[in-house]
Amino acid sequence: MIKYILLVISFFMFIPGFAQQNQMSREAYIQKYYPLAISEMERSGIPASITLAQGCWESQNGNSVLATEGNNHFGIKCKSEWRGKKIYHDDDAKGECFRKYAHAEASYVDHSNFLMAGSRYSFLFQLDPKDYAGWARGLKQAGYATDPTYAERLIKIIEDFKLYVYDEYGDNRQLASIKQEEEKTTHNKALRPSTPAKKNTAHKIEMRNGLRSVVVLEGDTYQSLTKFLKLKDWQLYTYNDFGKGRQPRPNEILYIEAKYRKASKQHKQHVTENGDTMHYIAQRYGIRLKPLLRRNRMDDGQEPAVGQVVYLHHKSPRKR
């Protein structure tokens, strides 16, 4: 009987330690997601340091229920305009509705879109892109969080972990000059890249995976984009592995030159998460879809299972 009691006690003592060992550290979270934060900074103008600090705090370094079960790293609630999947969680009130994403990257993209589309955040885009303290205080002022110390918490994370170095990776001067020029001519608030009426001035050619790319805006079609970019009709379809007739979707990344046959040496494998498709993986790493399928011994239309290792650089080993 005593042995049984000791066994039970040991079991319950072991569980917290086991759970703690599997918790992602703040350092590990930053190392995992800083490329996403930089990518979104280049697309939106939001400092990478701010995005990372918010991700650290809001998701408890990727360990919160919202992050692990809903891939929601920024605590964004459903709101009336949300048409995607939902997850319910106790926050300011019991059982509140939060947005649920297929993977973390979708959460990072939606976080940028949420700030760009919200009129109460528009003043932030007039700040110096490297003014992380101004952004932190501005987010609190605009009501992003109810915590009265929210700005100080973000600033502390940024300074403790030197996240401001990631703000040096992007050059937002072109985006800032576009905003200032638009503001002078229209006397409106700073330009937000998702504003349909201003899409022609907001298009910015960005380098992703060493390739030139653009982000699709509201109202864009392949016809309007090919005209704007001076490409032939077939090129955007071919470069992005899309069938003719499909129209681009807002916030989608389109390459405007041919992708590579394989990823760079630093990206050798991708472990799939729920919602990942082979086309998504091909776009994420700037690889042509057909060579990627052949490299992984897959047929056209075949999709990976959750947790499957997709080989990006070398051919996958044969199954025994």
The C-alpha atoms of residue 18 and residue 26 are separated, in whole angstroms, by 18
The C-alpha atoms of residue 68 and residue 56 are separated, in whole angstroms, by 13
For residue 214, give the 3-state DSSP assignment: strand
Q: How far apart are the first and last CA of the chain?
A: 48
Q: Is pLDDT larger for residue 190 or for residue 155?
A: 155
Strand partners, 213: 206, 255
Residue 118: CB atoms within 10 Å: 15
The C-alpha atoms of residue 307 and residue 274 are separated, in whole angstroms, by 8
The helix (run of H) or strand (run of E) holding residue 270 is strand 269-271
Q: Is pLDDT larger for residue 268 or for residue 65?
A: 65
Residue where the block lists tokens 């049984």: 4
The C-alpha atoms of residue 286 and residue 265 are separated, in whole angstroms, by 13
Residue 92 pLDDT = 63
Q: State which amino acid sits at residue 60.
A: Q
The C-alpha atoms of residue 262 and residue 16 are separated, in whole angstroms, by 42
Mean pLDDT of 215-236: 87
Checking if the pLDDT of 187 tops 50, the result is: no
The C-alpha atoms of residue 19 and residue 8 are separated, in whole angstroms, by 17
Residue 252 pLDDT = 80
Mean pLDDT of 199-220: 75
Q: Give me the chain's average pLDDT, please.
A: 81
Mean pLDDT of 219-235: 88
DSSP state, residue 258: P
Q: Using one digit for the tens of pLDDT, what is the confidence trace for 43-55?
A: 889 999 999 999 9
Residue 2 pLDDT = 53
Mean pLDDT of 289-302: 95
Mean pLDDT of 136-162: 92
How many CA within 13 A on the CB side of residue 317?
4
Radius of gyration of the chain (CA): 22
Contact 95, 79 (CB under 8 A): no
Domains of the chain: 26-168 (1.10.530.10)
DSSP state, residue 316: P
pTM for the structure as a whole: 0.53
- Poorest-confidence range of 57-66, 122-131, 159-168, 179-188? 179-188
Contact 98, 66 (CB under 8 A): yes
Q: Using one digit for the tens of pLDDT, what is the confidence trace for 54-103?
A: 999 999 999 999 999 999 999 999 987 788 899 998 776 788 899 999 88
